[in-house]
Structure 1
């Protein structure tokens, strides 16, 4: 799926952002100085193959990835992440901290995203061979857990807020959640959910857990196709009055349809 054609020249001032998920890959090409133009493309993967094999094929067969860019971002959609307060973080303890909270897996390396606005560090893992392929192809790439730009964007957005809010980003097989209490980040988590019944169950339980007000506090949603999302919203409105759809790039004069662009990519580009 392509939003518009792009000329593969003069990209030295553009930002390439790649998103990798077991369900498929996507990438965007964006120039902050030409904010009205954003190129976005999705790429299918062979789910029978490893992430590394799919990445190798992706790099070899996608012309847009073989030209120079000002900056390359690589987002890994993963549930294998953990959060550490910034004041407790030390580089040499990354693996120790990570494996205190998550079971060990073979052939992975641990990376970190320092989120200065949120005052936390997100530790996450990536398959070693995948990391090798990407690092060799993009020598100066920045790697992110897909949750990281979302947390930073939402922290900035809520800095001066005095409300209670829950943000939910839906995918086919999981749901990423960020909760804020009077502008302060209270919770970041990912839940394994594949249907609206389970999504509603977790959201309403969080609402109750944080003792949020059904009339005044806010729920912000993104992801899913319109039909499925509207079905969920219709059910949730029985319990929560203020429900909104998130579109970070709606504040910018971007040309493609925002519905097609993952929230984590939107968040990353908004924070650039």
Structure 2
């Protein structure tokens, strides 16, 4: 489980870097970059032994890779989970966020967290395993917990703000997908779904498209994530939707380094927000 560290990152210069650890089902990914240095971004992905408890594998990973606990300018722990809800800022109360999450999901994670969505005037409330939260809190400094959808919403709002037609953005993960719809920067819909088969992906996309009232001829669908899944559903989707394109990666991302394109879209979006 040892991570092959980039030569660019050393203990002597780690305080100049922003590190992000993305926790996902069955493993984690790691990225780091220096905002003041072009081509400094690098990305690694690790698969855990699924027969072991997740927190055990996480501790083992930290034990074998001491650079994870170096002192950094900032550390982001990105939680990739479909269990979240968005609450308008006008009605959000910190002391009630656990109740809100419990109302939405019958068995929420032990620790309830939230990210402010300033541009939406809302809070994204999500859950995290209590043991994982405690371990990360003890092991890392300058720590921020981030839900993986939060930076995506910021990126998509910016991309859609000056576009005439409505846009649907879909990110395909292993057994999961994120869907958001915008009209000239206004968020119309956002949710994440778990799926078993590619037909489920097609169903969710077309169902949301219809529910939001998007135009099959004029509005646009942008796909990102698993390339194989994108290829397998695109031909079928073209029977129903006219404008289907790959997700646009902002040009400034390329300045960070070639490895940025290996990273999940949420990590790219998070890095761009911090530049």
TM-score normalized by the length of structure 2 = 0.91
Give the drift of 1:160: 3.3
Q: Does 1:50 align with 2:48?
A: no
- Aligned length in residues: 270
Alignment match, 1:89:
92
Give the drift of 1:60: 1.2
Q: Tell me, yes or no, if the aligned pair for 1:14 and 1:69 is still in contact at 8 Å.
A: yes
Distance 2:210 2:139 in 1: 47
For structure 1, the residue ranges without an aligned partner over 5 or more in a row are: none
Residues 7 and 122 of structure 1: CA distance in aligned 2, closer, same or farther (over 3 Å): closer
Give the drift of 1:52: 1.5
Q: Deviations over 1:161-189 (max 9, x none)?
A: 33211111111111111111232101111
Residues 240 and 230 of structure 1: CA distance in aligned 2, closer, same or farther (over 3 Å): same
* SS of corresponding position for 1:73: strand
Q: Deviations over 1:203-230 (max 9, x none)?
A: 1122222222222111011111x33322
Distance 1:241 1:3 in 2: 44
Give the drift of 1:249: 4.9
Alignment match, 1:128:
130
Distance 1:51 1:249 in 2: 34
Q: Does 1:211 align with 2:213?
A: yes
* SS of corresponding position for 2:244: strand
Distance 2:57 2:190 in 1: 29
Q: Tell me, yes or no, if the aligned pair for 2:22 and 2:29 is still in contact at 8 Å.
A: yes
Q: Tell me, yes or no, if the aligned pair for 1:176 and 1:189 is still in contact at 8 Å.
A: yes
Superposition RMSD on alpha carbons, in Å?
1.9
Q: Tell me, yes or no, if the aligned pair for 2:42 and 2:260 is still in contact at 8 Å.
A: no
Distance 1:6 1:45 in 2: 26
For structure 2, the residue ranges without an aligned partner over 5 or more in a row are: none
Q: Deviations over 1:31-82 (max 9, x none)?
A: 1111322111111111122222122112111233132110000001112211
Q: Does 1:32 align with 2:35?
A: yes
Question: Which of 236, 260, 263 lines up with 2:262 in the alignment?
Answer: 260
Q: Tell me, yes or no, if the aligned pair for 1:117 and 1:156 is still in contact at 8 Å.
A: no
Alignment match, 1:236:
237
Distance 1:42 1:64 in 2: 15
Distance 2:250 2:13 in 1: 24
* SS of corresponding position for 1:32: coil
Q: Tell me, yes or no, if the aligned pair for 1:168 and 1:178 is still in contact at 8 Å.
A: yes
Alignment match, 1:162:
164
Distance 2:145 2:98 in 1: 17
TM-score normalized by the length of structure 1 = 0.92
